[in-house]
Structure 1
Amino acid sequence: MQQVNIHEAKTHFSRLIARVLAGEEIIIARAGQPVARLLPVTGSTRQRTPGSARGQIKMAADFHHPLPDHLREEFEK
């Protein structure tokens, strides 16, 4: 784990990201006091299941009808 000051972190951000991706933890400090920790994002995002909301979403019967003139005009401004 290495500590760097904010100015150094801004100047060398891409390098610090590369080090984090290689497994290193970086502490960012202001006036020598730690204020943030730079870590890789871990864990996987939840997989989407197609069709999981089937039957839960209702479309209005007039969903495909043209908008009323006053609304259409607002969108076309």
Structure 2
Amino acid sequence: MSEQVEVTLREAKSQLLQLGARAWQGDRVVITKAGKPYLELLPHVATPQARKPGRLKGNIRMLADFDRTPEDVIKGFEG
């Protein structure tokens, strides 16, 4: 079961490694300033970026001869 840990900004400076470990274990770590919640320490969780179709529209051009292969390239492949 996770618990909430409250520490002052000054305490957090000297205990950052321990507080980070507690956040990774699931504890809620709240850093206070002047007696009020100031920051919450959370573990980083990578979230994949959703693919957005069409985001490069207008930025990519294809030349008119894109689908024409030069004879020297064809001969190079055929030997």
Say yes or no: TM over 0.5: yes
Q: Which of residues 34, 37, 41 is equivalent to 1:38?
A: 41
How many residues end up aligned between the 2 structures?
56
TM-score where L is the length of structure 2: 0.54
TM-score where L is the length of structure 1: 0.55
Gaps of 5+ in 1: 59-77
RMSD: 2.7
Larger Rg computed on CA atoms = 2
User: How many percent of aligned residue pairs carry the same amino acid?
Assistant: 33
Amino acid of the residue matched to residue 35 of structure 2? G
| Matched residue SS, 1:41 | coil
1:46-57 to structure 2, matched below 5 A, reads: 46=49, 56-57=59-60
Gaps of 5+ in 2: 62-79
Using the TM superposition, give the Cα deviation of residue 32 of structure 1 relative to its aligned residue in structure 2, in angstroms.
1.1
